[in-house]
């Protein structure tokens, strides 16, 4: 059993592939989400590194399980099993690892490797789409929608998707990102590490890996296949049956035809709706913490309505670990959900509660 005292209330996380990113998560929420992150079935490896340890007794590779954290005393207890070598990314430490540590020691750092989880990290969906996240979240696979200039060579796929609409030029070898304002406490992120969607060949083009009825801000200089502009247009209920089964005639139509929502987007962007996508039961897993508007009064089952209510840590440990008490809650048994008004009547936001971890 490893016992650490004076443990900080916040833990740092970081990744350097496919892009460098980092952030923090509360220690209590991280421990609470241990099983939800997949560590219950597949205990992570870690390295205990002593700041002032002896030369051959200051770094030990271990397997970690069953953590317990006392926020009042700031004490963390976790079961450890010494490893002969470190797997995954911790193997970089290589020859610096030792076979034992003293029973008592001073300042130390504990590095936990989540690399073996594979699918727990996330890259976004379609390159050039804009997704909304809590401002405290730094999702993997995105860049901020802050109007910044990026290297064309480093962001070739993104450059191909959005062109130079938002600044930059081929001569400068820089590409500009859109600058999009978000409600207080939130931030828009531009998908960089996703799939490159094909160009739409009409209102009923297929191939979109999205949940029918989902709405996205798009920065692409073309319309991705499987999406149509959310501009109030009428569609055939037969040819767009998957979307019709979700929204019906909520926005107009007679049952043979139906209307999509009519939304106004910031300059250079467009609101598009997933029309030839997947049913809610077969749609790909969402990214925990992502806020998505749907042309429906209730979101899919992987989401919770972003209406400011509280949710149970026990029921939604992943989302609780990510949000903490940023949006309210008592921080012990429950946490608060974001509260975002719908874009228009019949369109409401959902926050992804179970799915891929954003880091």
* Residue-level pLDDT at 355: 85
The residue ranges of every structural domain in the chain are: 2-117, 129-352
14: number of Cβ within 10 Å: 11
Residue 185 pLDDT grade (very low, low, confident, very high; cuts 50, 70, 90): very high
Q: What is the mean pLDDT of residues 14-27?
A: 60
117 within 8 A of 46, measured Cβ to Cβ: no
Contacts of residue 329, defined as CB under 8 A and 6 or more positions apart, other chains included, come to: 310, 311, 335, 336
**54-74: per-residue pLDDT in tens?**
766 677 888 889 899 998 899
Q: What is the mean pLDDT of the chain?
A: 85
**256-310: per-residue pLDDT in tens?**
999 999 999 999 999 999 998 777 776 777 899 999 999 988 888 899 999 999 9
Place of tokens 């051959």: 56
Contacts of residue 354, defined as CB under 8 A and 6 or more positions apart, other chains included, come to: 285, 288, 302, 316, 318, 319
Dist. CA 272–CA 170, nearest whole Å: 28
* Residue-level pLDDT at 121: 47
Dist. CA 252–CA 212, nearest whole Å: 17
33 within 8 A of 318, measured Cβ to Cβ: yes
**151-164: per-residue pLDDT in tens?**
998 998 899 899 99
**234-267: per-residue pLDDT in tens?**
999 999 999 999 999 999 999 999 999 999 999 9
Q: Is the pLDDT of residue 196 over 50?
A: yes
Q: Is the pLDDT of residue 347 over 50?
A: yes
Q: Kindly report the pTM of this predicted structure.
A: 0.71
Which residue, 252, 257, 220, 255, is CA-closest to 235? 257
Which residue, 250, 271, 274, 275, is CA-closest to 262? 271
Residue 11 pLDDT grade (very low, low, confident, very high; cuts 50, 70, 90): confident
Dist. CA 66–CA 224, nearest whole Å: 45
Cα radius of gyration (the chain): 23
Dist. CA 277–CA 244, nearest whole Å: 11
Q: What is the DSSP string of 106-150?
A: SSEEEEEE-GGGSTTS---SBTTEEEEEETT---TTEEE-BS-EE
Q: What's the first-to-final CA gap in the chain, in angstroms? A: 28
Q: Is the pLDDT of residue 138 over 90?
A: no
* Residue-level pLDDT at 316: 92
Residue 117 pLDDT grade (very low, low, confident, very high; cuts 50, 70, 90): very low
Q: Is the pLDDT of residue 87 over 60?
A: no
Q: Is the pLDDT of residue 119 over 80?
A: no
Range scoring the smallest mean pLDDT among 33-42, 191-200, 225-234, 321-330: 33-42
């Amino acid at each position: 059993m490893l016992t650490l005292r004076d443990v900080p209330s916040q833990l740092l996380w970081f990744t350097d592939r496919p892009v460098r990113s980092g952030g923090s998560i509360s220690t209590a929420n991280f421990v609470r989400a241990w099983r939800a992150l997949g560590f219950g079935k597949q205990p992570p490896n870690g390295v205990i590194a002593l700041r002032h340890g002896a030369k051959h007794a200051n770094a030990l590779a271990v397997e970690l399980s069953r953590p317990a954290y006392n926020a009042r005393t700031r004490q963390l207890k976790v079961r450890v099993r010494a490893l002969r070598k470190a797997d995954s990314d911790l193997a970089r430490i290589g020859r610096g690892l030792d076979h034992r540590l003293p029973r008592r020691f001073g300042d130390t750092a504990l590095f936990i490797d989540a690399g073996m989880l594979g699918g727990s990290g996330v890259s976004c969906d379609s390159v050039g789409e804009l997704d909304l996240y809590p401002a405290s979240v730094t999702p993997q696979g995105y860049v901020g929608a802050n109007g910044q200039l990026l290297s064309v060579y480093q962001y070739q796929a993104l450059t191909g998707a959005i062109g130079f609409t938002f600044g930059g030029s081929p001569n400068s070898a820089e590409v500009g990102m859109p600058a999009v304002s978000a409600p207080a406490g939130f931030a828009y992120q531009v998908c960089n590490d996703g799939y490159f969607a094909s160009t739409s060949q009409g209102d009923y083009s297929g191939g979109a890996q999205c949940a029918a009825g989902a709405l996205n801000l798009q920065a692409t200089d073309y319309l991705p296949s499987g999406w149509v502009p959310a501009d109030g247009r009428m569609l055939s209920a037969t040819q767009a049956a998957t979307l019709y089964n979700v929204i019906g005639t909520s926005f107009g139509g007679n049952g043979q035809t139906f209307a999509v929502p009519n939304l106004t987007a910031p300059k250079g962007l467009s609101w598009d709706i997933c029309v030839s996508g997947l049913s809610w039961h077969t749609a790909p897993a969402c990214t925990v913490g992502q806020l998505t508007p749907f042309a429906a009064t209730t979101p899919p089952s992987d989401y919770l309505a972003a209406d400011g209510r509280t949710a149970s840590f026990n029921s939604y440990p992943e989302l609780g670990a990510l949000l903490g008490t940023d949006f309210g809650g008592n921080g012990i048994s429950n946490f608060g959900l974001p509260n975002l008004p719908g874009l228009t009547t019949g369109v409401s936001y959902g926050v992804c509660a179970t799915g891929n971890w954003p880091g």
